Amino acid sequence: MTPPQNTDATSRFETLFEQLSDPVVEFRQDDDGEPIIVAANAAFRDVFAPAESVVGRPLNELIVPADRRDEAATFDQRTADGKSNRAVIERVTSEGRRKFLYRGVPAGDGRGFAIYSDVTEKLRQERHLDVLQRVLRHNLRNDVNVITGEVERALEHAESEETRAALRSIEETANGLTQLCTEAQTIRKVLSEPTPLDSTDLASILDTVSTDCLRRFTQATISVDCPDTLSVQADSRLQIVVDGLVDNAVRHNTASMPKVMLRAGVVDDDTVELAVADNGPGIPETEQQVITAEEQISPLSHGSGLGLWLVKWLTERYGGSLAIDTSPEADLTTDTSLDTGAATDTAAAGDGSMDIGTVVRVRLPQA
């Protein structure tokens, strides 16, 4: 006796299949392994064969360019072996060759589904942006080198303090442009990589970053208060997050002796907080609001650099959050008592060691 068909489920699947905006085709493989079209949704027909019937036709014959047949044969063999496929491919459409993100899903008994998402424009835009960024970065660095070289020569012959102050301001601005280029390059590289989360030793990262930054900023004081063993769910790029916070705290600090305090501990059963405080002038409120998404980016509200943006984006990839506090009451305490598991030293809040300008709090899942 034939079991009753689940007509409701079948109907819902057919509706989904037909309404998907990406081209989708169902196929079966013949004795030679050639995929033969069993069904195609409206998007597939519109993109690949708007005026033709496609059912019963060999899929590869219809859409695979002659110079990509070997590639298609490899995909077909994987389908026959019960393996899925995923790749960026080039296929022939009614409007010429286009690039697609292809996903092939085996369904058993020589059947399968192929889904095609057109990424032609996306890839073209990425190429354009890559060329634009490379040209801008190269030209900007060369121009900045010229500016700083001329400033150094001018400083040697400057007679008044007013002139020297103006030249130093130009030099500082030029160095800021170089820093911006470096940050943009780092962001592009870091955010293009996958984010596999794993147990990451926060304590060792804090020690490494504090040592590196003290070499970079010899006039600064950096203190760390963290348990010897404290791990979070992140990856090796967490060091970029911490380095960005400390670098930002010192680089934009106008105090005669910049001070930075790092304090980390468990705030609840599954969350670790890293608080980074400094004695600088504080991050402008408009920049805080842009970075924390309380205000839209505009010509008047856009932030002064990219360092905190990278910190924010990486933190969010880890499933964490970022908060900025520049209120007069800002300190290293939290709503929940921060358990560092160690006696606090000069990194503790309220010990009178410094007047806090900004506290940036990064919360991450505990490993």
**Residue for token pair 């859409």:** 63
- Counting every residue written for the chain, the total comes to 367
Residue with the larger pLDDT of the pair 287 and 347: 287
Q: Which CATH architecture has domain 7-118?
A: 2-Layer Sandwich (3.30)
Q: Cα–Cα distances in Å, from 358 out to 245, 285, 288, 324, 361?
A: 11, 11, 11, 7, 10
What integer pLDDT is reported at residue 5 of this predicted model?
56
**Residues 313-333: pLDDT tens digits?**
999 999 999 999 877 666 665
Q: Which helix (H) or strand (E) holds 207?
A: helix 202-216
Question: Which residue(s) pair with 106 in the sheet?
Answer: 112
Residue 295 pLDDT exceeds 70: no
Task: Round to whole Å and give the CA distance between 45 and 39.
Answer: 10
Domain boundaries, the chain: 7-118, 121-192, 197-365
Residue 142 pLDDT exceeds 70: yes
Q: Which CATH architecture has domain 197-365?
A: 2-Layer Sandwich (3.30)
Strands (E), the chain: 24-29, 35-40, 85-93, 96-108, 111-118, 198-201, 221-225, 231-234, 259-268, 271-278, 321-325, 358-365
Q: State the chain's mean pLDDT as an integer.
A: 86
Question: Which residue(s) pair with 113 in the sheet?
Answer: 26, 105
Crossing angle for the helix pair 238-251 and 202-216, to the nearest 10 degrees? 40
> Are 209 and 249 within 8 A, CB to CB?
no
What integer pLDDT is reported at residue 182 of this predicted model?
82
Q: Cα–Cα distances in Å, from 331 out to 167, 206, 215, 359?
A: 37, 19, 26, 7
What integer pLDDT is reported at residue 338 of this predicted model?
46
- Give φ, ψ of 327 to 5 degrees: -70, 160
Q: What is the mean pLDDT of residues 289-300?
A: 59
Residue 47 pLDDT exceeds 80: yes
Which region, left, alpha or beta, applies to residue 72 given φ > 0 means left and ψ of -120 to 50 means alpha?
A: alpha
**Residue for token pair 């008047």:** 300
Identify the CA nearest to 323 among candidates 351, 364, 356, 352.
364
Residue with the larger pLDDT of the pair 136 and 294: 136
**Residues 48-90: pLDDT tens digits?**
999 889 999 999 999 999 999 999 999 999 999 999 999 999 9
What integer pLDDT is reported at residue 330 of this predicted model?
60
> Are 233 and 319 within 8 A, CB to CB?
yes
Which region, left, alpha or beta, applies to residue 282 given φ > 0 means left and ψ of -120 to 50 means alpha?
A: left
Express as a percent the part of the chain with pLDDT over 90: 58
Q: What is the CA radius of gyration of the chain?
A: 29
What integer pLDDT is reported at residue 351 of this predicted model?
44
- Give φ, ψ of 61 to 5 degrees: -65, -30
Q: What is the largest CA-CA distance in the chain?
A: 104
Q: How confident is the model at residue 334 (pLDDT cuts 50, 70, 90)?
A: very low
Structure tokens, 176: 């800021």
Identify the CA nearest to 240 among candidates 185, 166, 284, 285.
185
